[in-house]
Homo-oligomer: A and B are copies of this chain.
């Protein structure tokens, strides 16, 4: 039986939903209505408003959600699944409830555990994209990079996430370009590939991060780096520094928007890394479909 349902990725700053039929998206909705914009815990009312057209057309459809909606700052604080975690572990820990308007609803748990470096780490939302990648590209092992504000480097064996590490690359770029001395008194910025790649090359030298970034100031002082390209250079520094964690020659999937994966691939080529892009929405939809269809199989 082909069922309609709704897939939701509800993060801190963005809300994305897909009206689904079986495992295929029929329509998409994208609003800047992240959890930070929800006042007085009005999660149910906000969701009902956002999904109103679909609920009116199809009734109280099942809704499966992932992302920060299941965090301490979200709708329900859904306990993390511990590493290693695969499809069955996430299914076993799905948080199920019924919305005020009668939709059966589920929130996918995040995952916690020790990173590759032995530090405590957490993810919420990326686990769905990782399951999706495994369904789309079913190989025995996957090394995966998910770029963003808080990038994740994950390793999967037979579709099970065995460990992952967070890199605050996107947030550090924002802090340095917007709030530090490196970004002070800059003219309007332009994207420049040469400045970006100069940043990547400089990062490849392996200097400590807190020293590395000062080169955005000294190269500017020395007139080596045109002022409109400082952000491009800083982007190259921060992404290049992150990519030092990978091994040259390693085959790594990069899940994200084309804009981000293109930038990572450009940096990767400079560093002799094979980065293979996969579209982020595709992975999310596929991962959540796998979960929903397994859930349906289990309950029908």
Contact = CB atoms under 8 A, between A and B. Distances in A.
Contacts of A208: 117, 167, 209, 241-242, 244-245
B210 A242 contact: yes
12 contacts: A117-B207, A117-B211, A118-B207, A119-B207, A119-B212, A122-B217, A122-B218, A166-B214, A167-B208, A167-B214, A168-B213, A208-B241
A205 B118 contact: yes
A215 interface: yes
Interface stretch (A83-91, A174-182, A287-295): A174-182
A224 interface: yes
Contacts of A205: 117-119
A126 B55 CA distance: 66
Given A209-B241, A210-B242, 17 more contacts: A117-B206, A117-B211, A117-B212, A118-B205, A119-B211, A119-B215, A120-B222, A120-B224, A122-B221, A150-B214, A166-B218, A167-B208, A168-B214, A169-B210, A171-B180, A179-B179, A208-B209
Contact of A119 (B168, B176, B214): B214
Tell me how many chains of this kind the complex includes.
2
Interface string A214-241: 1101110110100000000000001001
A72 B179 contact: no
A215 B120 contact: yes
Contacts of A72: 221
Interface in A101-125: 112, 115, 117-122
Interface string A61-93: 000000000001000000000000000000000
Nearest to A73: B185
